[in-house]
């Protein structure tokens, strides 16, 4: 039995799992096992042939992961989800589930530096062309779309620019062209549901807010079940042509009786099977713990971040503060259209003294941790130009919004007085 609710506060505690069928355990058990015994040879055969759903081997599925996947799919309003070992793996699988060598896809320029590297270098080496476009004009996506374009890719609230992506505008263009929009919603769980605005696939680095404790690396792909892959057979050969690695299965047909889950099933039984980056059941358990308090934490992150943005905005040594609450015009319209309940927990700012001032500020912080992460319950800070974005050229850094003096803060859920006191003393030291 599962609980029927539309409220995130309820879904994160009850969706997909109520108690263990054999032990009645209320907390989701960690099924730390590689394999699952088959009832009979017929049962084994049915599972491998996908005539029946069930557990085979933990590289491909696991009951602990299944509870997390169902919970996040319910939270997003999607039909099914797939957990993987990291956010990077989630991005890799999300796009290569549709693209093969010789194909292309269109990506926003406003993306995480690691995703940029994957797209601009590793995927290029694999023969997949990524066409980067500036999302300030959604029509840029249409302009570079051709018959080999397999998807659009973007982040809801990309740091460092923190310009909310025009989800509906680009999703609408994609639907007219027959191209699905994949959204990296890592910075905005709870406050944005990209499926409500037309996205077809949502992915997460669960490492960030969903975990919240900063203990585990993980990723998630959620299938919206809202894109008609069969209506565009030629555009999506991976889903519409016989798969030689699976007895010639045509995924859109093979899983039709189970629902609109061709995309996520292929990611699981082909990509996860072959490329093998599963989330460990232990980490899935950790993310289940994090998920339980996600709505409460997001509220606190958002409230604190807005107060930090206001504080920095009135500080004489700060030349520029980046946070959706302070934006105006079209950027603010997008922030208000796509975020609800807050403007996220990330704040960027630039100091009068550029790179040297940025370094000095970070070295002076006492409460904030200096780490390459976001979304932890603790407050975090980093200087992207010399760390997360250092492998990008100066032009690439500028295109993603990283200036030499930019400092990124991920505001935690400590008491706001302590957060502001630490920022104040570090600014005094600059
Ligand atoms: N997407 C975004 C927006 C990120 O910030 C990150 C990591 O910082 C990733 C994806 C990659 O996630 P992971 O570190 O879990 O591989």
Query: Do 177 and 70 fall within a single domain?
Result: yes
Could you identify the atom of ligand 1 that is nearest to the CA of residue 111? 3
Q: Do 231 and 94 share a domain, yes or no?
A: yes
* pLDDT above 90: percentage of residues in the chain: 87
Domain extent, residue 314, equals 294-429
Number of domains in the chain: 2
Is residue 237 situated within a structural domain? yes
Say yes or no: 266 and 299 in one domain.
no
Q: How confident is the model at residue 52 (pLDDT cuts 50, 70, 90)?
A: confident
Mean pLDDT of the 80-87 span:
98
Q: Which residues contact 103 (CB under 8 A, 6 or more apart)?
A: 128, 129, 148, 149, 150
Q: Return all residues near 326 (Cβ < 8 A) that are at least 6 apart.
A: 309, 313
256 shares its domain with 321: no
User: How much distance in Å is there from the Cα of 91 to the middle of ligand 1?
Assistant: 9
Do both 298 and 276 map to the same domain? Answer: no
Q: Which helix (H) or strand (E) holds 359?
A: helix 354-364
Q: Based on the domain organization, do 140 and 251 belong to the same domain?
A: yes
pLDDT in tens, 12-31: 999 999 999 999 999 999 99
Residue 392: the pLDDT is: 72
The length of the chain, given as a count of residues: 430
Query: How far is ligand 1, taken at its centre, from the CA of residue 217, in Å?
Result: 9
> Higher pLDDT residue, 372 or 307?
307
Q: Is the CB of 205 under 6 A from ligand 1?
A: yes
pLDDT of residue 404: 81
pLDDT grade, residue 426 (50/70/90)?
very high
258/406 same-domain check: no
Instruction: Among 86, 112, 344, say which to mutate for ligand 1: greatest number of ligand atoms within 8 Å of CB.
Output: 112
Cα-Cα-Cα-Cα dihedral sign, residues 72, 73, 74, 75: positive
pLDDT at residue number 403: 84
Judge if pTM exceeds 0.75. yes
pLDDT at position 248 over 60:
yes
Is the pLDDT confidence value at 400 over 80?
A: no
pLDDT at 4 (0 to 100) = 83
- 1 found inside a domain: no
Testing ligand 1's pocket by substitution, the residue of 93, 110, 205 carrying the most ligand atoms inside 8 A of its CB is 205
Of 289, 304, 321, which marks where a domain is finished?
289
- On the CB side of 142, CA atoms within 13 Å amount to 12
Regarding the beta carbon of 156 and ligand 1, being less than 6 Å apart is answered no
Looking at the predicted structure, is the pLDDT value of residue 325 above 60?
yes
Q: Are residues 64 and 146 in the same domain?
A: yes
Q: Average the pLDDT over 296-323 and give the result.
A: 97
* 114 Cβ closer than 6 Å to some ligand 1 atom: yes
Say how many Å lie between the CA of residue 119 and the centre of ligand 1: 14
Asked if residue 2 has pLDDT above 70, the reply is no
Residue 111 in domain: yes
User: Looking at residues 74-86, what average pLDDT do you find?
Assistant: 98
Cα dihedral 182, 187, 189, 190 in deg (nearest 10): -120
Mutate to test the pocket of ligand 1, among 87, 221, 372, 389 (most ligand atoms within 8 A of CB): 87
Nearest of 55, 68, 58, 65 to residue 16 by alpha carbon? 68
Q: Is 405 in the pocket of ligand 1 (CB under 6 A)?
A: no
207, 221, 284, 384, best to mutate for ligand 1 pocket (most atoms within 8 Å of CB): 207
pLDDT digits (tens, 9 = 90+) for 177-199: 999 999 999 999 999 999 999 99
The tens digit of pLDDT for each residue in 112-155 reads 889 999 999 999 999 999 999 999 999 999 999 999 999 999 99
From 289, 324, 341, give the residue that closes a domain: 289
> Percent of the chain at pLDDT above 70?
99
Asked if residue 385 has pLDDT above 90, the reply is no
Of the listed ranges 16-25, 111-120, 340-349, 400-409, the least confidently predicted one is 400-409
Classify residue 273: in a domain, yes or no: yes
Distance of CA 120 to the CA centre of its chain: 19
pLDDT tier at 335 (50, 70, 90 boundaries)?
Answer: very high
Index of the ligand 1 atom closest to the CA of residue 158: 3
Task: Using the mean position of ligand 1's atoms as its centre, give its distance from the Cα of residue 301 in Å.
Answer: 18
- pLDDT-based confidence at residue 375 (cuts at 50, 70, 90): very high
DSSP H helical ranges for 26-106: 41-48, 63-76, 87-96
Nearest CA among 42, 125, 82, 413 for reference residue 261:
82
Distance (angstroms) between ligand 1 centre and the Cα of 209 equals 11
CB of 87 within 6 A of ligand 1: the answer is: yes
Residues 269 and 339 in one domain: no
pLDDT for 342 beyond 80:
yes
CATH code for position 313? 3.90.1150.10
Q: How far is CA 384 from CA 91, 133, 373, in A?
A: 21, 22, 11
The rounded Å distance from CA 94 to ligand 1 centre is: 14
Residue 1: pLDDT over 70:
no
Tell me what the mean pLDDT of segment 216-236 comes to: 98
* Together in a domain, 242 and 350: no
Coil, helix or strand at residue 98: coil
Of 377, 305, 279, 59, which Cα lies nearest the Cα of 159?
Answer: 305
Kind and range of the H or E run holding 307:
helix 294-313
Phi, psi of 13 (to 5 degrees): -100, -25
End-to-end CA distance of the chain: 57
Residue nearest to atom 8 of ligand 1 (CA): 373
Decide whether any atom of ligand 1 lies within 6 Å of the 216 Cβ.
no
The first and second tokens of residue 210, run together, are 């969903």
Mutate to test the pocket of ligand 1, among 86, 113, 117, 186 (most ligand atoms within 8 A of CB): 186
pLDDT band per the 50, 70, 90 thresholds, residue 96:
very high
Same domain, 320 and 232: no
Supply the CATH number for residue 247's domain. Answer: 3.40.640.10
Of 231, 210, 206, 265, the closest CA to residue 79 belongs to 265
CB atoms within 10 A of CB 104: 19
Q: No. of H helices and E strands in the chain? A: 18, 12
Residue 352: what pLDDT?
85
Distance, CA of 283 to CA of 278 (rounded, Å): 10
| Tokens, residue 62 | 């696991």
* Domain end marker among 289, 307, 329: 289
Q: Cα(30) to centroid of ligand 1, in Å?
A: 25
Would 3 be classed as within a structural domain? no
Same domain flag for 72 and 208: yes
């Amino acid at each position: 039995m599962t609980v029927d609710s539309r409220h995130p506060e309820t879904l994160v505690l009850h969706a997909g799992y109520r108690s263990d069928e054999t032990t009645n355990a209320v907390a989701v058990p960690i099924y730390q096992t590689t394999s699952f015994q088959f009832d009979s040879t017929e049962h084994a055969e049915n599972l491998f042939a996908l005539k029946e759903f069930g557990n085979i081997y933990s590289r491909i599925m696991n009951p602990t992961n299944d509870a997390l996947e169902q919970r996040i799919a319910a939270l997003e309003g999607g039909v099914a989800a797939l957990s993987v070992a990291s956010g990077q793996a989630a991005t890799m699988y999300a796009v290569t589930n549709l693209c093969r060598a010789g194909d292309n896809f269109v990506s926003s320029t406003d993306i995480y530096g690691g995703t940029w590297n994957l797209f601009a270098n590793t995927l290029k080496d694999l023969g997949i062309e990524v066409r980067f476009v500036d999302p300030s004009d959604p029509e840029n996506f249409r302009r570079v779309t051709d018959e080999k374009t397999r998807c659009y890719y973007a982040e809801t609230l990309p740091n460092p620019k923190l310009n909310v992506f025009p989800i509906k505008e680009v999703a609408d263009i994609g639907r007219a062209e027959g191209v699905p929009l994949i959204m990296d919603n890592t910075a905005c769980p709870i406050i944005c549901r990209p499926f409500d605005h037309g996205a077809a696939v949502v992915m997460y680095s669960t490492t960030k807010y969903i975990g919240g404790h900063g203990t585990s690396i993980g990723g998630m792909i959620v299938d919206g079940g809202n894109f008609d892959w069969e209506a565009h057979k030629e555009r999506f050969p991976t889903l519409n042509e016989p798969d030689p690695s699976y007895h010639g299965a045509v995924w859109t047909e093979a899983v039709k009786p189970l629902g609109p889950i061709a995309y996520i099933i292929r990611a699981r039984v082909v990509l996860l099977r072959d490329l093998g980056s599963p989330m460990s059941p232990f980490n899935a358990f950790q993310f289940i713990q994090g998920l339980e308090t996600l709505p409460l934490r997001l509220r606190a992150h958002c409230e604190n971040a807005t107060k930090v943005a206001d504080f920095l905005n009135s500080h004489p040594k700060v030349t520029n503060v980046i946070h959706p609450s302070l934006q105006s015009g079209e950027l603010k319209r997008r922030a208000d259209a796509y975020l609800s309940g807050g403007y996220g927990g990330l704040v960027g700012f630039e100091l009068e003294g550029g790179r040297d001032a940025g370094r000095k500020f970070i070295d002076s912080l006492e409460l904030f941790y200096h780490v390459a992460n976001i979304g932890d319950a603790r407050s975090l800070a980093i200087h992207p130009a010399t760390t997360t974005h250092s492998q990008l050229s100066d032009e690439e850094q500028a295109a993603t919004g990283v200036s030499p003096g930019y400092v990124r803060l991920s505001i935690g859920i400590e008491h706001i007085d302590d957060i502001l006191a630490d920022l104040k003393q570090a600014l005094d030291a600059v």
